[in-house]
Structure formats: structure tokens, C-alpha cells
Amino acid sequence: MRRVSVDIGGTFTDCSLVWDDRYVEAKSLTTHQNLALGFNASLKIAYEQLGLTLEEVMREVDSVRYATTLGTNALIERRGPRVGLLVTAGFEAMVPLSRGRGYGEGLPDRQRRDLPMAQRPEPLVPVQMIVGVRERVAETGEILMPVDAEDVRTQVRKLVDNGVQAFVVSLVNAVVQPEHELLVEEIIREEFPEQLLGSAPIVLSHQVGGRKGEYARTSSAILDAFLHNAMYHGLSTLELNLRDNGYRKPMLVIHNSGGMAQLNSTDALQTIHSGPVAGINASEHLAVEADLGNVVCTDMGGTSFDIGLVVKGGVKFYDFNPVIGRWLVNIPMVHLVTLGAGGGSIARFDRLRRAVAVGPESAGSDPGPACYNRGGRYPTVTDADLALGYLLADRYADGSIPLNERRATRALEKEVGEPMGTDALGAAKLIRQKIDNDMANGIAQELRVRGYEPRHFTILAYGGNGPLHACGIANVLGVSRVMVPPFSSIFSAIGAGNMDQLHFHERSLYLSLYDSNTRKIFDDFDSFNALVEELEQKGRDDLMRQGVAPAAIKHRLELDMRYGNQLAQTAVVVSKNRLETADDLMEVLAAFSKDYGRRYGEGSQAPEAGIRINTIRVATYSSMSTLKFADILPKKADLAPAPAATQHKECHFVGHDGAMKTAFHDLADLSFGSVVEAPAVVISPSTTYLVEPGWRLKIGRHGAALFERAE
Amino acid sequence: MGDDMDITGAASGAVDAFLSETNLYLAPDPVIMNNHGLEPRTAYEDECISKESDPVRLEIVRERILAGVNESFEMLENMGAAPGAKWGDCVSAVYTESGDLSLASSGGVVIFCNLVQYPIKFIRKYWSKDKTVGINEGDVFIVNDARYGQAHNTDQSMMMPVFHEGKIVAWAGATVHEGENGAIEPGGMPSLAEQIWDEGLKMSPFKVAENYTLRRDLVTFLQNSVREPKLQYADMKVKMYVCRRIETRIHEAIAEYGVEAVVAALRMNLEDTDAEVRRRLKEWPDGTVRHSWWTDGTLRENVQIKINLELTKKGDELTFDYRGSSPEFTNRSNNSLDITVKGMLAQLFLTFIWPDIPRNQGVLAPVNFIFDNPSVLKPGFGTPSAQSMMTVFTAWSAGQVATMKFLYSNPHKYTRVLAPWFNMINTFLFGGLTQHGEMVGNVCADINGMGGGALADRDGEHGCAPIFATMSDIGEQEFIEEEVPFIQIVSKKMMKDNQGFGRQRGGMGYQMVLAMRDSDAFGFMLTAMGAKFPNIPGLFGGYGCPTYPLARIRGVNVFEILKNDPASFRYSIEELMNERPFPDAQYSTHPMTLGYTLAQRGELYMIAQGTGGGFGDPLERAPADVMRDMDEGLISDDVAWRIYRVVYNKETLHVDEAATAKARDEARRERIAKSKPFDAFCKEWVKDKPSGKVPYFGSWDDKTMVHAGDPDKLHPAGQVVPPVVMAHPLQVKIDKLEAELAECRKSGNR
């Protein structure tokens, strides 16, 4: 296997180069003006480690894969075309009203509760750019009012007069009857043919998402249109760069659905959060290869703490209505939760509780924690970690940020210690205890609401602050194993290197499997199977267009099911892709019941209220070869005590009075199988591993390490 | 009954013992219902707190339990089948062993869980000692009768004791606005209810499950009593499993931190909140603020109903004195229980004043309430209250205005001062057979789209949130149309010119034009105030909301029009009603108080959501903001000139700054010219009594005396004799017609 995978982040471009059995990693600064420069720089660092040339790599590599935050940045900076939106007349305020709750999407609870401060985000489509067209389709697909072509022309001209640069057409019930959206597209094209200069792209809502929910689908289409240009130009530049350097195969783009596709089969919206999703994908692969069982992936950086789930047996967790930025959308995205907890999270005295509160406000990187010496006055988690002795002032971030211990101490004393009646050290312990508890509660809620117990999971800890807080979080959750993955500083790029080509196609419908009023069991299997076949065909077309051989294409059928008239959408993965007999149907009902019972409690199932399918979803994919991590962790025979520490220092730990003599190691001094006993700190250029009392650390390959509770 | 029915009477001696043991039935207990404050610490709580007093540790325990409650709330939203559950009108919570609300889920409706304290306290007091009932591990209780502690009978709560080693240490609760409850009209909020027995299910707190299993006989009885047996069954199961999830999380917290830590954390959460609220109240200046407002009907007839509020802050306590408000209407459903007023005001504090305060009932501990008893805000035991929103929301808004006046000059605020939020449920209730052959009765999610009030420097948010919840949802039509046989043809389109004008304007409401399409038996009803008199005022010179009628077009099948003559359809209420595009149809407007009415296919029902109040003088509104509203189609040229006095080019919307300044200056001079000394104004403006044009209910200038419809007759507040009994509107009509007939006959005879 010869593979290049790249994760372009806001600050760094991470690169993973796999060349047969050799794996190397590289990092360079992201070059926003031309992403190709950063890419070339990081790739150069990688191939030079292997003694290769650019020409060799480009000629012989199997595939080049990208995960990118380009879209996220474009959203933050509001860089996008002037989008014009055509909706069903009578629904003009649908997007501005954003289901009422749009003011709070993407915000923490505390802000959501503050109604006087409620304010929706600056719209991506100004009200003046929204027009209604005279048409209406019923929920069954019946056309209640035909499209008024003249009216459409008038509205389109209005948008053109207002400077439209991209059209979004989103009509009510278009997913069951797309005829009207297609007709509006045709009219726009008649008026403004594609070959003319100034022709604007057209996004049709039913092509972005196949599920019902006019607001979330419209919102998805708007984001897609808004991001299209930035994404297209950014990624095209990269593809061109590859071509110029001699690469002749297709470039693959990572999707937030957990798969990837060629550029010509990628919607802009599918690339948002693709980096973190690639990290979850890498975790899934690692969990299987290293036999970790159920895994909760945690990425603790400077401002946030991301949580993802990987459960044994290939159960997938998706958000079908994820929030991107401040907007609710309805594309399937790998489930990812972000909490406002990181090294920069600010701690303060909570007068009401007479306790410490931490975050979600963050000091960011500028001014950053008080110890950064850049003017930050408030104590942060990093200041607490420094005061407790875990960080070496001259080794933080590989020595690039010298830390000022005195400033940290002062901030801790003043903002937390004094009101709490303790000193800086006491304050630091309280902060650490609080943040670890908060993160643990976040994980627990995520797992338990899906019917899982945290103690049955292994935590995968990555991100700059992950290994530093891993034991603390695990202590709260009762988890006994924490793994720091290999190549943890470029973990998303590793994930990108392991993805399959994957496409989702879905369709909303009102399909009663068991009608509790008539006591009738569904039996129209032919129409069900025909619909599945149609969705599979779409997926097959997607992959074949990208050169995948038909024999290599697989499908996974998922049904969103509910009891009675619930809102719940429990996605049930069905073992058979076709229903042939009543027994097949009973198997589906049993699978739903099992999954529902696990989530909400055995006995909570309510089939007596009827059972429905609301969405049929087909995941079409083609499996590709993957990286090998099977021998990443040492076996018993490989274990040996770590070499002598480079230094010892007094450190303080939550739950332990007084200072404890703590060994400090350099990761570079440790080898495969080294066992580091607690209390200890292991320093690497990108992170700090803290071995808290009661734990030990086993060193694996490529920076991987395993925290285990000491017997 | 009601307060007079004191069944708890301290027993001493044989007679007292006999009386206390010999009850016909256990009505709501006034000792429980009249106490919204915290129960005293129990000996066990004292013991736990003496062992576990480290606030840092208690905070960790509290957060741990809260994570479990939030998890249960997520379950409730996902599993619930009622629109109320799907679109956010639900909540889950943990209560102390004594029944005080200690931890509400971060999302959901605070008033719901605040009121569940009462049935829990009832269950503790009566059923725990009753051999025929008892409280055991795995028991689950249910309640929907508002008089025992619910916002109104359409809500249903389930409660589960949490045991530890054979002893109750806490309670779990879950509430959903279920909608249908078998009342005289479908949907659970009957405006036709003249007696409490017209209000549908009246579940006093009773045990509905044992050993974590619903009793099928009782479930069947309840299913048999409502129009939606499927919903009744499914959501009972949901609420029980939500309680069970909370129970599990509490057990886990006990296993990890010890029972003392859990009990201490739940108790201290209340006491800490009480202490912090008192500290914050001390920051307010001492004094009294008065605010009165009126609603314009009973849902059956147009009348003027006064809500009178005197809000006094002294030291670390606050007193809401609602005396002088309207007397109760003994055969109308618009009365609000006092517990509902209190519960709503908890929401005011937790969302609009101190959104950072923990969601528990400690927030009301330093707050006192005074009501005339009986009155429209504290009705008697047998008085209907299914439509309590009609008066409690006005009482809430009066509280919002009064507190904002206190907060304005307060140097330390925990959020912003704002003009009143729109406060009325401008939405359709519906009921009948769906296109799938199911019988349903419920309410549209548009209830959640109330317009936000304006702030000192920012306009209010359009159709944003109801006053009783955050992050609830106005829903997606594509989902809704799948389940009910009507469609909104105009679903979300702003209601032009319906603005709370001001230097900053209120957030506006949107129009809904709907028609039944696919059922042989389906109807609508409407239950909102504000067709004649605005529901809310503005603040500091800003305007209140406009008035909102129901408009109907009958004698038309709009689906035929859409298919055969689509060009004739108009997409706004204004155009449809003014242009009257369907020649043979009948066009009419009504108060928003439509009793349940079977709909004909294709006839149009049209309403608008309401706008929040404006803040400050409209003449101070930045002309650019006025032009932005013009550009967005929110206002007309008429409003831009008549209200805001902006002079501009109608083609380009370019403002003529000088001409605008001049016009505004003239407007101010006109105001001055019309002004007069205060005494002169009073002499002209102040009247001795109501005009009598509309029946008037409530005090005039002396809060101790109230009118009961008659402008010439006053009654001591709380002692209206005979009580207010409204004639049946049809009878009124018949009487009027008969009188006219008699007059005609008389003239004819002559």
C-alpha cells in the first residue's frame, strides 16, 4: 500500500505517508492563500524521511486523500457567494424563522436559556434574496398547485437584479415529488443558460438531502451553495497541484459521513468537520486492529473537547440533523459532540455554589492562559496544570511557548484561590477536578443515552491536552484503559488514510410496518424492495462513476424506525437488503426492538402503538486496504521498566494531599514496551502524558501508549 | 371546597381523630398547595449535610445527577409521541424526598416540573400511609388534574420514588404537554368547558404502575377516556422509562458518592439558590412598581378582564400582589390557578432575569404572592381552568414589565432589560380523523413562535420562543402534514406592519393560512386573547403588539382554486381579505376564540403569530433601520411615515435625513401642542367607573373593590356575590333575537 493522506487544519497541514510497510508523519503550517504550498511542504518532509523524491511518490502512490477545514473557515469568515433562495410561496420566512429555535443552535445551554440575549446568527441568505414561487405539492407527492412558470421567471429576475451568484431551490415536499424543483431549475437555465458568463450554479434541495423537513433541508442546500465556490476552488487548486506534480489518479475527498469520494462526487457540505470525523474513523480502525473493544474517542485541544463513539460490531452513530456552525442541517454526519472544555478554558469562582466553574469561555491562544505571558489575566486549565507541576515551562509545545509560572500562580490565587479560601495550588486542584468531571459527565451522557456504560469502554485520548487529562477523566468514569493512539498529533490524517469510498442515499416515506388501528402487518415487499434497489442504484452509479468495479461495491441498508408517532429516529441496520417474507419483516421488527430497548430500557418498546419506517437509507461503499496497527501495543513479553527518568519534580494530584515526587521522561528516550510507573510525566514535542497515581503507562509504537490501572 | 376544605386539620381528641380519619375524598390539600417555598430541612437531610458539606464535592455530585436528568430529557424528546414532546413542551426533573424541585433538565418547560412538587407532596402525605395504596420501589404515579399541581389538565406528569435501602431518598418526574385528554373539545384545552367536568381526564395523583410495570387495567381505563388511546398509552410508557432512567442515575451516584452526598447535594442546591436569589434581590432598590393590563375575553364572549399587579421589593424579598384583579368566572375556563401563576413567574426569573440561576424552586423561595380569594388568578375548587393561559400569561407579562422597571436602574444585571415578549398561544388546536384513520386531538407547534421583545439597542427576534420554554420548536410542515389532514398553504410569511413599534421594534409574528384537505371529520379551534385589546404593552415609549383576529373564508374549496385557477390565490391574509379573490365565498373575521368547528374541505382559516413589544420612542428609531424593515417587507410606506416619520425615496429607499429630522421635529411639536398639565389631563382622562361599553371585571381605582361586569356595581374583592356566571352565548343571541322579534311583533301590532 502506498498512500498519502492529508488533513488541512486551520493552523497545520498534517500529512501521513504510507509506503509499503513504512509509515511516516509530517506537519507544516497551513498556507491559506494557496493550500497547495502547505501540502507540498508537509509532503516533502514526509517523503524525505523515506529517502524518496516527489516524482517517485506521485508516480507510484495508490491514492491521495484530503480532509479539510476549508468549509468551516469559509463559514466563519462568511466567504461565499450571494445566494438567492426560491421557496414555495407562503414559506418565505421559513429560513429567517429557523424553526424558532435557530437563535440557540450551536450554543451552550447557558446561552440558550438567556432569552433576552437570543439572537439568530447573521443570515447566509439575506431576506431580500428569498423569493416565493407559486406551486405546492402535498405530503403524498400529489401536485396541489402547478408551478407558475411566469411567476418563477419573475422571481428569478428579481434575484438576478439583486445580484444573485448562486441559486438554491427548495420546495415543500420536493423529496417525494421533485418535479417542481427540476422545473424551476429548467426555467432558470432557460433564462440564464450555463454557457453565459455570470451563470450561477443551482442547488436543488432534494438532491442535497432525501429526507423530509423543509427547513433543515433548505438550510443544508444553502450551506452547500454558500460553500461551493470556496471549496471547489480550494480543492481544485490542490488537484491541479497534484496533476502538475505528475499524479494521475483521482484525488479523494474525505466526507463527514465517514467515507470519501472524488471531487466530482462531493457536495461542499459533506466536507465540513471531515477532519474530526476522520479521527473517529481512525479510532474505529485502531479499535479493531488493537482489539480495544468499545472506544470513546476524545480530542482535547485548547478550546474544545470532542467526543465520538466507536462501538464493537460496527454499529455506526450518525447525527441525521447535525448543527453546522449555527445551522441545523439534515445530512447524515458521523456523530460528534463538542464541549467547551480545553486547556484554555477559563476558571472562575461560582459564588452560588461556593465552587469552581470552568469554561465554556476560553482564553484561546491570544491572549491565552495567564502563563502564556501574553496579557491573559484569568486562570485556565493550562495554568492549573502548570501550577500542579505537570508542565515544564521551557518544554511546552516543544519549547515554542515559554510559560510564566508566576503569572499562573497570581491568576489562580486572585480569581479562584482567594474567594475559595485556598492558595494557588488548592485552586489548581479544584480546577483540574472540575474540568475532568465536566468532560467525564459529557462522555457519560453521550454513552448512556445510547444505552452504553462508560466503564465498558476504552478511552482514546488525543489532541494537545488529551493525554494530560486522560487518567483524570477515566478516574471519574471508572474506565480502566486509556489509549493514546499512534501518530496522535496527525491522527485525523491517519483516519483519512483508512477510509472507504462511501455514499449515502436516503428517502423519506410514511410506511407503516404494523398499523395498530387495523392490526395489519406490512406485506408490499415488492415496492419496498424496488425503493431499496433505486437507492442502491444511485450509490452504485456514484461509485462506478469514480471507477470502482461493480463487484467491489457493497450496500448497507438502514431504516429509521419509530413506534407510533414518535419523533425518535432509531436507525436500524438491517441484515438483509431485501424483504421477501413475513419472517424477514419480523426480523426487522426484532432488530428495532433490540436496539430501542438497549437505548431506552428493556420494556420501553411500544409496538402496540404501531411501527413505522420514516426513512430508508442505503450506504454504498467499496472497502479499501487499510493501515496495519495490529502490533501497535506491546505484549507482556515486550514489557520492560522504563529507563531512568531525566528528572524528578514535585507534583500535586487530585485526591492526594501534599506533593508527590514525580518522574519526568522524554518520549524519545522510551522504547517499545517501556513501562512507566506512576506518578510520572512523559513529554513529547506535541503533548504531555500524565501518569496519575494508580496508573501505569505502556509505550507502544509510533507514539502510541496505553494507560492502565495498576493492580 | 378549595381553601375552605381543610382536610388536614390538626387532630386532637376523639372528634378530631374521627374527622381526620373519616374523609369522603382527598381533595388537594391547601397546606400543600399554598406553599410554594422550600420544605424545611428534614432530620435526615440535616444528618446528610453534617456528613457531606464540602461544596466542591456537592457540586460534582449535582453535576453528575444533572447529566442523568439531561440524558432523560433527551429520551423524552426522542421517544414522546405528543407534539408537545416532539417540539419541546416537556421536561424531566429530580425532587428531594420532601418533594421540592431540585434539579430540572437544562431544556424543557420549568413551570411543568415546578408544579410537580405538589402531587409528590400529596402522594407522600396521603398515599404513603394509606394501606390501599402505599409507596413501594418500582411504583409510578400519574397526575393531570391542575388543582393537584399541573399547569393545566392537558399536561400529564408521572412521578417515581427513588429508594435506597428501603427508604425514599428522592423523586423522579417527567411531564409532557400531551394534548388530547377527553375534554368536551379535542386537544385538551377546551374553551367550551363550563364546569370542571367538561375538562376531560381529572387524574388526581394515583399509582399507575407497580414494579416498573404499567397496570393494563388502568391504562385501558385512561385510553378509554380520551380520543387518542395510542398517544395515551405510548407516552405513559415513555414518561415511566424516563423516570426510571433518572432513578438509575441517582442509584449510580449513590453507589459512587454515598447516599449522604446525594441527599445533601439535592437539598443544598435549593438552599444555595434561595440564598443567591436573596443576595441578588438585595441589589434591587426597595420600592413598589405597579402595572395593570387587560385581556379582552373569556373565550366565549368579549369582556374586559383586569390583571392588577403591585410588585414590592423590600430587603431580600419580593411580593407580587395581584389583588384587585378580576373576579373568577365560575363557568368559563379562562381562570388560572395561583400555582400556575407562581410556576410561570419561576420561568420569568430563570429565563428573562437570572438565566444563570439553577433551575429549581429555590428561585421562588424569597418571593411572596397575594391574591384575592377567589379571583380569576385563584379560582375556587370547582371553577374550570383548562384555558388558564388566557389570564396567567397576562399576569406573567405584568410581572415582566414590573421587574424590568426595577432592573432598568439596577447597576448589576444578569441579562438585558427588554420590552415584553409576546405572550399568547396564537395557534390552531385541531381534532378529528386523520388521513390514516386515526382519531387525534392536539395543538400546532406554532405555539412556540412568539415574537421577542425589543432591547434598548437591538430589535426583538422574530417568532422566536414561547414565554414558557427555551429551544422549543415551531416544527417542520413536511413532518406535520404526514400525520394530520390539513396543510398550511401560507405557513411562514411575516405579518406586514404588525409590529411593536419603537426606537427598537419588537420581533414580529408570521401568518398561517391553512385548510383541511383529507378527512371526513376534522375540525379546528382557536384559543387566544388579543383580537380587540393588545396582549402586551411596549416599554419606555415603545408600542405594544397589535391586535390579532381570526379570518375565515368559507364557501370555497381552495384546493380546487389552486388546481384550476391558481393565479387567483393570494398569499397574505391582508390580500385575501381585502381583495376577496374568490367571488362566491364568505369572508369574515372573528376573535381568536373559535370553539371546535368541523372544517369543510378547502375553506381557509387564517391567523398570525404575535409580535414582541417595542422599546423607546419610535421617533428615535434610526431611519436606516426603518428602511431595512421596508426592504425586508416588514412594514409599509404608511407605517414608515405615520409611525416613524421617515422621508425617503420610495424607489431607492434613500433617506432624506434633513427632511426626516424636520418631520420628526414637527411630530414632537405636535405632541407638545397636544400636551397638558397632569392635573388637566387627569381631569379629562380619568373616569369614575368603566364605560359600560364592554362588561368590565376587576378593580377600577381601588384594588379592594372589583366590578363583576356591571360598571355601576362594586363588590369587595374576593367576595363577589353572586359569583360571576356568564350566560351561554347562544342563549344571549337567542334572547336578543327574541327581544327583536317581540319588538317587531309589537310594532306590527301597532
Could you give the CA distance from residue A624 to residue A548 in angstroms, rounded to a whole number? 11
Please report the sign of the dihedral spanned by the C-alpha atoms of residue B657, residue B663, residue B666, residue B668.
negative
Q: How confident is the model at residue B9 (pLDDT cuts 50, 70, 90)?
A: very low
DSSP assigned state of B100:
-
Sequence-ordered alpha helix ranges (H) in A77-178: 94-97, 109-112, 149-161
Chain B from 107 to 126: CB within 8 A of any A CB:
107
pLDDT at residue B336 tops 70? yes
Structure confidence at residue A231 (pLDDT) = 85
- Contact across the interface for A115 and B470, Cβ inside 8 Å: yes
Chain A from 405 to 434: CB within 8 A of any B CB:
430, 433-434
Q: Is-contact B93 B101, C-beta < 8 A? A: yes
CATH topology of domain A501-622: Dna Ligase; domain 1 (3.30.1490)
For B670-703, how does the pLDDT look when each residue is reduced to its tens digit (9 = 90+)?
Answer: 999 999 999 999 999 999 999 999 999 999 999 9
Assigned architecture for domain A2-75+232-274:
2-Layer Sandwich (3.30)
DSSP assigned state of A668:
G
Chain B from 179 to 198: CB within 8 A of any A CB:
none
Residues 6+ apart with CB under 8 A from A406: none
Question: With an 8 Å Cβ cutoff, is B559 touching chain A?
Answer: yes
Question: With an 8 Å Cβ cutoff, is A162 touching chain B?
Answer: no
* Residue A707 buriedness (CB in 10 A; 0-12 / 13-18 / 19+): buried
Residue with cell 451553495: A225
Of B55, B415, B482, the CB nearest to A139: B482
What distance in Å separates residue A282's CA from the closest CA in chain B?
A: 28
Of A117, A355, A601, the CB nearest to B245: A601
Q: Is-contact B462 A59, C-beta < 8 A? A: no
Bridge partners, B308 (sequence order): B292
Whole-complex ipTM: 0.93
Query: What is the SS3 assignment for A81?
Result: coil
The backbone torsions φ and ψ at residue A702, rounded to the nearest 5 degrees and listed phi first, read 55, 35
For A262-313, how does the pLDDT look when each residue is reduced to its tens digit (9 = 90+)?
Answer: 888 888 888 888 888 888 888 888 888 888 899 999 998 888 899 999 888 7
Sequence-ordered alpha helix ranges (H) in B179-315: 216-224, 229-257, 259-283
All structural domains of chain B with their residue ranges: 43-278, 284-417+699-750, 425-617
Structure confidence at residue B750 (pLDDT) = 53
- Contact across the interface for B452 and A351, Cβ inside 8 Å: no
Which residues of chain A, if any, have pLDDT below 50?
A: none
Could you give the CA distance from residue A128 to residue B82 in angstroms, rounded to a whole number? 36
In this predicted model, which residue has the larger pLDDT, A499 or B490? B490
Could you give the CA distance from residue B650 to residue B640 in angstroms, rounded to a whole number? 11
What distance in Å separates residue A518's CA from the closest CA in chain B?
A: 9
What distance in Å separates residue A598's CA from the closest CA in chain B?
A: 12
What distance in Å separates residue B345's CA from the closest CA in chain A?
A: 15
In our burial notation (b when 16+ CB lie closer than 10 A, e otherwise), range B351-384 reads bbbbbebbbbbbbbbbbebebbbbbbbbbbeebb
Bond prior to A643 in cis (omega within 30° of 0): no
Residue with cell 379582552: B296
Which amino acid type is present at position A288? Answer: V
Interface test with B, best of A88, A103, A139, A569 (most B CBs within 10 A): A139
pTM of the model: 0.92
Provide the CB-side half-sphere exposure for A289 (13 A, CA).
17
Question: With an 8 Å Cβ cutoff, is A582 touching chain B?
Answer: no
- Contact across the interface for B571 and A89, Cβ inside 8 Å: yes
Please report the sign of the dihedral spanned by the C-alpha atoms of residue B556, residue B559, residue B563, residue B569.
positive
Interface test with A, best of B353, B436, B482 (most A CBs within 10 A): B482
- Number of A to B CB contacts under 8 A, please give it: 255
Could you give the CA distance from residue B88 to residue B79 in angstroms, rounded to a whole number? 12
Among candidate residues A148, A575, A12, A543, the one with its CA nearest the CA of residue B571: A148
> Count H helices, E strands: chain B?
19, 23
Structure confidence at residue B749 (pLDDT) = 59
In the sheet where A647-651 sits, what is the strand order? A647-651, A660-666, A680-683, A688-691
Q: Is-contact B174 B73, C-beta < 8 A? A: no
Which amino acid type is present at position A36? Answer: A
* Residue A309 buriedness (CB in 10 A; 0-12 / 13-18 / 19+): buried
Residue with cell 468531571: A437
Which cell is B619 given?
421617533
Chain B from 139 to 158: CB within 8 A of any A CB:
none
DSSP A491-560: HHHHHHTTPPEEEEEEEEEEEEEEETTTTEEP--HHHHHHHHHHHHHHHHHHHHHTT--GGG-EEEEEEE
Residue range(s) of every CATH 3.30.1490 domain in chain A: 501-622
Among candidate residues B199, B206, B159, the one with its CA nearest the CA of residue B181: B199
Give the number of other Cβ atoms within 10 Å of residue B579's Cβ: 11
Which cell is A560 given?
429509521
Could you give the CA distance from residue B329 to residue B300 in angstroms, rounded to a whole number? 11
Q: How confident is the model at residue B5 (pLDDT cuts 50, 70, 90)?
A: very low
Residue with cell 435526615: B44
The length of chain A in residues reads 711
Query: What is the SS3 assignment for B604?
Result: strand
Torsion angle, CA of A113/A118/A120/A122, rounded to 10 degrees? -130
Among candidate residues A618, A487, A483, the one with its CA nearest the CA of residue A554: A618
Q: Is-contact A584 A576, C-beta < 8 A? A: yes
Write out chain B residues lying below 8 Å of A117, CB-based.
Answer: 415-416
Residues 6+ apart with CB under 8 A from A259: A499, A500, A501, A502, A503, A619, A621
Among candidate residues A621, A608, A308, A306, the one with its CA nearest the CA of residue A466: A306
Structure confidence at residue B1 (pLDDT) = 36
**Alpha-carbon distances, residue B287 vs A673, B293, B317, B405, B600 (angstroms):** 73, 20, 11, 11, 56
The torsion region of residue B108 among left (phi > 0), alpha (psi -120 to 50) and beta comes to left
Among candidate residues A88, A121, A80, the one with its CA nearest the CA of residue A104: A121
Residue range(s) of every CATH 3.40.50 domain in chain A: 79-227
Among candidate residues A512, A488, A489, A497, the one with its CA nearest the CA of residue A561: A512
DSSP assigned state of A417:
I
Chain B from 284 to 323: CB within 8 A of any A CB:
none
Residue range(s) of every CATH 3.30.420.40 domain in chain A: 2-75+232-274
Among candidate residues A242, A253, A317, A311, the one with its CA nearest the CA of residue A499: A253
Could you give the CA distance from residue A85 to residue A162 in angstroms, rounded to a whole number? 12
Question: With an 8 Å Cβ cutoff, is B407 touching chain A?
Answer: no
DSSP assigned state of B698:
E
- Contact across the interface for A144 and B352, Cβ inside 8 Å: no
Chain A from 222 to 281: CB within 8 A of any B CB:
none
Q: Which residue of chain A comes nearest to B348, CA vs CA? A: A115
The backbone torsions φ and ψ at residue B208, rounded to the nearest 5 degrees and listed phi first, read -115, -10
Q: Which residue of chain A comes nearest to B280, CA vs CA? A: A352
Could you give the CA distance from residue A172 to residue A136 in angstroms, rounded to a whole number? 7
Could you give the CA distance from residue B312 to residue B316 in angstroms, rounded to a whole number? 11
Question: With an 8 Å Cβ cutoff, is A113 touching chain B?
Answer: yes
Any idea which of A613-622, B374-383, B547-556, B643-652 has the lowest mean pLDDT?
A: A613-622
CATH topology of domain A79-227: Rossmann fold (3.40.50)
- What's the gap between Cα A571 and its chain centre? 19
Write out chain A residues lying below 8 Å of B172, CB-based.
Answer: none
Q: Is-contact B337 B199, C-beta < 8 A? A: no
Which cell is B298 given?
373569556
